Chains A and B, each alone.
Chain A
Amino acid sequence: MFNPLRLFRRADHIDEAADAYVEGRATERDLVELRSRAAAGEQGLIEDLDSIRSTVSLLRSIEPASAPRSFALAEAPVQVRIKRSRMAMAPAVFAIAAAAMVGLLAVGNLADVVRQSDSGSDESPASAQAENAAMSSEDSGSDFDPVLPGGQQSGSGPQSGVQTGEGSLASDPPARSAATATVAPASGGSTGDSASSSSGSQGSAMTDMPEPSSPPVGEAVGALPESVDPMPGGGTSTLVEPSDAGAQGGDPGFTFGQEDPKTTDDGSAERDMPAPLPLPTSTNLFDQDAPIASIDTGDFVAEQGDEEAGVPLPIWQLQLGFAIFAVVMAGAWMLLQRRLTA
C-alpha cells in the first residue's frame, strides 16, 4: 500500500505537486506529473492524495470561533511581572553559582598541587624511620633491648605495670620498654609477628630478640623468658615477677599478668612465662612518646603517608559537573527570557 508520508520524508523535502493537488490548486502540469508517477510504480498515489484532500476539506469546513467575551484589560497589570522576573533570574543565579564553584575548585586544586609538591619529600618513610630509630635509641640507652617487662632500666620511675587484662599497653616507661622488647627492633626479626599478643608469639618475639649484653637477670627488674638466656652459664630463666623484684628490693617493674612468683623446690623463684602482651592499640602506635612508635615505623609511616594522601578527590569531575550545570542553567535562563519577551 502506498504511504503518502513517504512523499515528505525529509523535513524540508516537499512534494509540491502532491501538496498542490491536496489543496486543490494543482495545475495541469502537476496533474500530469502525478499521473505519470502513479503509472510508473507509485501504486495508489492518486487515491491517497484524494483521501488527504477530503480531510483538508473537512477541516476547512469548521467555522472559526468568536471570542465569548471581551478580553480588554481593566487595569494595567504590573505586580505579576515582578514576580515572574524573580523566577526568571533563578537559572541565572544557579549558573553563576555553578561557575563560581568551578573557579573555586580550580583554585583549590592548584593550591593543593603546589602544597603537595612542596611537602612531598618531608614525609618519606625513610626519614620517618630514621627519626623513630633515633627515638628508640634514646629510650633504650643500651645495646640490650630488654624483652621482659622488667627489661626497663632501673630508675625509670614508678611502674604502673601492664594491664594485660585491659589489653592495652600503658604509656609508662615499663610498658613501653616491654613493648619495645616484645616487638623486635629494626635489627630484630619478625616485627609483625611480635606485635601479636599471644603467648606463642611472645615466645617467638623473645626468640628474635638479640642476645642481651646487659646485667644479669637478677639485677633487672624482670627476667628474660626461657628462650632468651642472659646468663652465660645457661640454664633456664623465667620472667621475674614485679612482686619478686620488689621483694628483692628493686623496682617492681611492670607485671606480666597478675601471678605471684612461686617458689620452686630449690628455693629459686619460679618464674612463669609472662602473659602475652596485649596488642598495642592504634592510639599507642602513633604516640610519639611510645616505644612502639619506634618499632619498625617504616611500615607505619608508609601507611600514615598513604592515609594522608588518601583517595584523591575527583576534582576534575566535580569541575566538569558544575560546568555542565552552569551551561544548562544559562541555557534555561536564556530560554525563559525569550519566552517572557515572546
Chain B
Amino acid sequence: MKEFKGRVLNGGYFKGEAIVSHQGVNTLATFQSSALKNAKQVIAADQNNPDIFEKNLTGKALCLPQTIGSTTGGMVLQVICSMGINPACMLFSEHIDSLAGAGVILSVVWENSKLIAIDCLGQEFLDTVKTGDTIEITEDGTVKVL
C-alpha cells in the first residue's frame, strides 16, 4: 500500500477502481460520444489516448496529469455530471488546469455534483497507480493505492 496527499478541490470518501491516463485527457474527445448517445455510462472515446480508450469511466477514479483540448471541456464535464455518468473522482498528478477546474466548479455549484477532485498528487502517484488498482480516498485528500 502506498499513500499520497494532494490538495482537496472537492472532497469526499471513495473506495474503488482506478483508471489511469499517463497523458492529458481530452475532455471533449473522451466524453462527448457517450453524452450524445445519452448513454448510461461513459466509454472513453478518444482514439488518441490508448491508456483509457474504450474503458468505462463511470464511477471510477480517473487518475491523470491534467485535461487538454477544447475550451468547451468544462461544460462537457458539467454535462456528464448532470447526467450522473461521471467518474466518481478525478485525481490530478499536477495542478489542475483551467478547463477541468471550471468543469469541477460548474458541476459542484450548478449540478450539486459530488465529483471528488484532488490535484497536486505528484508524478510518483501517476507512476505508482495502475489501471485496475483499488484506491481509497478520504476527505482530507489522502489517496491510498491498496
Chains A and B belong together in one complex: no
